[in-house]
Amino acid sequence: MNLLTRTLSSLLAILFLSGTLDAAPSKPNIIYIVSDDLGYGDLGSYGQKQVKTPRLDRMAREGLRFTDHYAGHTVCRPARLVFLTGKHTGHTAIAGNNMHVLPKGSKTVTSLLKEAGYVTGGVGKWALGDVGTTGHPNNQGFDFFYGYLDQSAAHDYYPEFLFRNDKAERLPGNVNSGKRNVSSKKVTYAHTRITEEALAFIERNKDKPFYLNLTWTIPHTNNEAGNVEKNGQEVPDHGIYKDKNWPDPEKGFAAMVTLMDTDTGKIIDLLKKLGIAENTLVVFTSDNGPHQEGGHKVDFFDSNGQLKGHKRSLHDGGIRVPMIAWWPKTIKSGVSNHASAFWDWLPTACELGGAETPEGIDGISFAPTLLGNTNKQVRHDYLFWRWSRFRAVRMNDWKGVQTDKTLALYDLSKDIGEETDVASENPKIVARIQKIIAELE
């Protein structure tokens, strides 16, 4: 090593140690929290006024809050397939809630991080393979799984059992009524058990790099109980909302969101207690827009904020979701309008975790944005969604929503609520978006 090389190496070491160069700790712990049917406007940090979410609001103040992050789909199963595989629904096997079992050898964010040396855990809701199939979590890179394997069973917050890996585990006191997903005795709240298992996973693996995929079912309604009892918001009690002059479904919805907020705080508190917060990235988001089911009305709390539509729509209210990234001393507090989506999660986690990112995916890592290197952030030419006879494309600030062959165009920089169709005034933009859709058919 010559004198010049030694001098440069010394300078780089000094800069790194002084924090002048942006760098993330090697192999950080990674926790990816996906709530279920939480709307863009359901958190205080995104404009919510009535439902209290103090821990997530603090997380947003201390971390990076994304204003333009999108779910992989407007319903559950395909959205989860997207973040696991890094492919948007133009390239996934399904683009709806129809059954899909992940095939053997699938490259998922979990399997890739496991290969890179991570202990991997999945806690909560799974929808891509039952016991004895190639899609079971333990066959898709998860060292540990606890929760619901069946997507429909996850509607019931008081099921008779949850799965620990491939074994059904009884939840004390719960008894099914004989009707699908409707319990006659409600004793053990599944969300509480799921949260306890998430905390236990962190405790067990505090001394090694871990990846935890925490997929809460809150605040999804129990569709079947909602049909029977006219209230699908199953929660042990209404908490701070019990005396509100609101319909019971709205009290239940608010209580679910606040409970989820409290449990996010428990995770943050545990990381601090264990002394691993500064080596842990926590990302919080939602699998799609807010539901209007089980007695809950989207407009009651403005769950979609300024956005048009809700779950099962490809307008932004159905797919634009909260995302907060928190990582003390690595992520600087602020707000980012970087346009990102669920298919970006795989390459982001792989880059931060030192895992190999596979070829042929649609995602682009947003790690540079997390680390403050926005000048190095690669951006999408477009974002794409497919569902039934609907297609949607976001291209910069242009948003196209196509039904059959009719495409409406919106300028999100002026019209975040997608109220004014400007397709006739911008034929070149329309033609470009239609070409993108045609190429992905």
Say if 370 falls within a structural domain. yes
| Residue 3 vs residues 7, 11, 13: alpha-carbon distances, Å | 6, 12, 15
Say if 124 falls within a structural domain. yes
Q: How far is C-alpha 384 from the chain's CA centre?
A: 17
Say if 313 falls within a structural domain. yes
CATH code for the domain of 230: 3.40.720.10
Residue listed under structure tokens 């500064």: 278
What are the beta bridge partners of residue 394?
A: 383, 399
Single-letter code of the amino acid located at 170: R
> Do 371 and 413 share a structural domain?
no
> Do 269 and 400 share a structural domain?
no
> Do 369 and 395 share a structural domain?
no
Query: Of 380, 401, 420, which closes a domain?
Result: 380
CATH code for the domain of 395: 3.30.1120.10
> Do 317 and 275 share a structural domain?
yes
> Do 272 and 228 share a structural domain?
yes
Pairing, β 29-35 against β 280-286: parallel
Q: How many CA atoms lie within 13 A of 210 on its CB side?
A: 23
Backbone angles phi, psi at 346, to 5 degrees: -55, -55
Query: Of 380, 412, 427, which closes a domain?
Result: 380
Residue 136 tokens read as 């079971």
Residue 104 tokens read as 């053997």
pLDDT in tens, 118-156: 999 999 999 999 999 999 999 999 999 999 999 999 999
At 111, the pLDDT band (50, 70, 90 cuts) reads: very high
> Do 214 and 174 share a structural domain?
yes
Look at residue 276 and tell me whether its pLDDT is greater than 60. yes
The beta strand positions in 17-70, using DSSP E, are 29-35, 64-66, 69-70
Say if 126 falls within a structural domain. yes
> Do 399 and 250 share a structural domain?
no
Report yes or no: 39 and 257 within 8 Å, Cβ to Cβ. no
pLDDT in tens, 291-325: 999 999 999 999 999 999 999 999 999 999 999 99
Say if 300 falls within a structural domain. yes
> Do 254 and 206 share a structural domain?
yes
Say if 1 falls within a structural domain. no
Distance CA 267, CA 276 (A): 11
Say if 114 falls within a structural domain. yes
Distance CA 394, CA 410 (A): 9
> Do 371 and 417 share a structural domain?
no
Distance CA 234, CA 218 (A): 9
Query: Of 380, 401, 417, which closes a domain?
Result: 380
Average pLDDT over residues 89-116: 97
Say if 12 falls within a structural domain. no
> Do 419 and 365 share a structural domain?
no
What is the residue range of 295's domain? 24-380
Number of independent structural domains in the chain: 2
Report yes or no: 15 and 321 within 8 Å, Cβ to Cβ. no
Report yes or no: 176 and 157 within 8 Å, Cβ to Cβ. no
> Do 325 and 241 share a structural domain?
yes
Q: How far is C-alpha 7 from the chain's CA centre?
A: 45
Distance CA 385, CA 72 (A): 7
pLDDT in tens, 207-253: 999 999 999 999 999 999 999 888 999 999 999 999 999 999 999 99
Average pLDDT over residues 359-371: 98
Q: How many CA atoms lie within 13 A of 95 on its CB side?
A: 19
Report yes or no: 108 and 140 within 8 Å, Cβ to Cβ. yes
pLDDT in tens, 151-162: 999 999 999 999
Average pLDDT over residues 403-431: 97
The pLDDT value recorded for residue 18 is 36
pLDDT in tens, 412-422: 999 999 999 99
> Do 198 and 149 share a structural domain?
yes
Residue 329 tokens read as 């001393």
